[in-house]
Amino acid sequence: MTLSERPRRLRQTPALRRLVRETRVSRDALVLPLFVREGVSIRENAPGLAGLYRYSPDRIPEAVETAMTAGINAFLLFGIPAHKDREGSEAWREDGIVQQALKTLRSRFPEVILITDVCLCEYTSHGHCGVLTEAGLVDNDQTLPLLAMTARSQAEAGADLVAPSDMMDGRVAAIRQVLDQKGLTQVGIMSYAVKYASSFYRPFRDTAGSRPAQGDRRNYQMDWHNRREASREAALDQAEGADILMVKPALAYLDVVAEVAATANRPVAAYSVSGEYAMLQAAAAAGLLDLEEAIAETAAGVFRAGADILVSYFAPEIATAIKRGDLG
């Protein structure tokens, strides 16, 4: 029997497989999230996230320096304040926790990309992403100026990109307007344009102390049954001035990543969230899979779906896989 098509010819050796690889991943496309908390000389385990830590501002450079040795050059900062109130006022304080970390890192590592999460959930006493009405619902329009103040404060402290994750309508436009008015036109917006009300956020909420005290976030984060709505949300943020569009979470939403990548004319990021990290760690600890292989395979899947940027707690491990030749 003669076969005219033999796809296996190009799978015979590692060198051949690398030669014809369709999805190529660069370490420059990786972003590592970091948690910074109030205090001095603190490096403590992150609850529910084996191998990850919360750092005080004076020790956050250790995490950056270690990641840089693996080839990571971009970092997304989340703040954990010592005090909270109903408005989340610590979020925009000039010497707030993220602002302290930004100033420390900017002076030590002027070449790295520093991205800041813009949301109030870690800073509010009720754990929601904005100001609450008397009925206990998040007031969209009353929240917008607070988010804009937070973004401005972080930009002034040294952020290259601000990343609103609150899912309020109109927040990208509100942030862009304030940044431009303050002469911060060079600071970009990486918007969480498509953020679903996912069950995969729980380890993050334990680490960041951002679980809602009552209710949930389904009236402002997206319904995970919806796909077409993602294109609408991405288009709105793009029109309002977002420079990068993010889809969150990643693994259960690869179809959405592909949809946004096909329709947007902005770089598309995907956030592989805490639950995805914890799930792989738990499966590996139980002997159910090889962690290194699973990290490389899932990262390739996100980029194969169309992401230009991957935010991942496994960023250093992915960078190592690239160097090893499993992803490059």
Active site residues: 195, 248
Q: 8 by DSSP, 3-state: which?
A: helix
Helix intervals (H) in the chain: 14-19, 60-70, 97-108, 140-157, 171-181, 202-208, 228-240, 254-263, 274-285, 291-305, 315-324
Eight-state DSSP code of residue 38: S
Q: C-alpha angle with apex 154: 208 to 239, nearest 5 degrees?
A: 100
CB 206 within 8 A of CB 47: yes
CB 146 within 8 A of CB 135: no
Eight-state DSSP code of residue 203: H
Residue with tokens 């914890």: 278
Rounded-to-integer distance, Cα 132 and Cα 139, Å:
6
